[in-house]
Chains A and B, each alone.
Chain A
Amino acid sequence: NAGVTQTPKFQVLKTGQSMTLQCAQDMNHEYMSWYRQDPGMGLRLIHYSVGAGITDQGEVPNGYNVSRSTTEDFPLRLLSAAPSQTSVYFCASSPLPSGDQETQYFGPGTRLLVL
């Protein structure tokens, strides 16, 4: 198993550009989520999904879109990048129900710089 994979590892964007951060897992996990990590702020939840076709907003969803067409993939889209979106982005997955959700598996992170 590859676990949770994220691409790219690092990306530089200009303000206003769009891009998609990819996240995939091969563990057949129902639950997937996106976090952003900023200095002194810990990890903050952007969006999450409890299964294919189901997504919901987290603490900081503005400026980001997600979709979940398959169990394996959970891409995060930035439609018009802003410097405030400069951050490190983590994708995570875990199985359901909640009794098994206690362990989340994290991807290696994507470092995004918006100029």
Chain B
Amino acid sequence: AQTVTQSQPEMSVQEAETVTLSCTYDTSESDYYLFWYKQPPSRQMILVIRQEAYKQQNATENRFSVNFQKAAKSFSLKISDSQLGDAAMYFCAHLPGNTPLVFGKGTRLSVIA
């Protein structure tokens, strides 16, 4: 079975600082996608960033970047210059081919002013 593990149930960061959320996954596929979703208190699921497994270059979206280590099956999210609006639940998710998304249990991020 495909699994996604987020080992940090809660994290906190000072405003303007950098924080890294960790994620590991298990798969037997060679081609797949990985995602980070943000869920603010409104409960809306917002796509933050995605990574194609066949691409060696780490994905970047403004202040959000990933460290994708395919051999280690690791996919961490780095948030730079943290803002109060970044406070939310963050979910790592894995899409192994044609099967549905598999989510981790989430990391609650607090941003301290």
Interfacial residues of chain B within 34-51, with CB under 8 A of chain A in the complex: 35, 43-45, 47, 50
Whole-angstrom CA separation of A33 from B98 in the bound complex: 13
CB <8 Å contact, B106 and A109 = no
Number of chain B interface residues as a range: 20 to 34
**A1 is an interface residue with CB less than 8 A from chain B:** no
A43-B91, A98-B98, A101-B95 given as contacts; is B103 within 8 A of A106 (CB)? no
A42-B105, A44-B103, A103-B50 given as contacts; is B91 within 8 A of A98 (CB)? no
CB <8 Å contact, B50 and A106 = no
Chain B residues lying within 8 Å of A104, measured Cβ to Cβ, are 47, 101
Which B residues form the contact surface with A (CB < 8 A)?
4, 6, 9, 33, 35, 43-45, 47, 50, 52, 91, 95, 97-98, 100-106
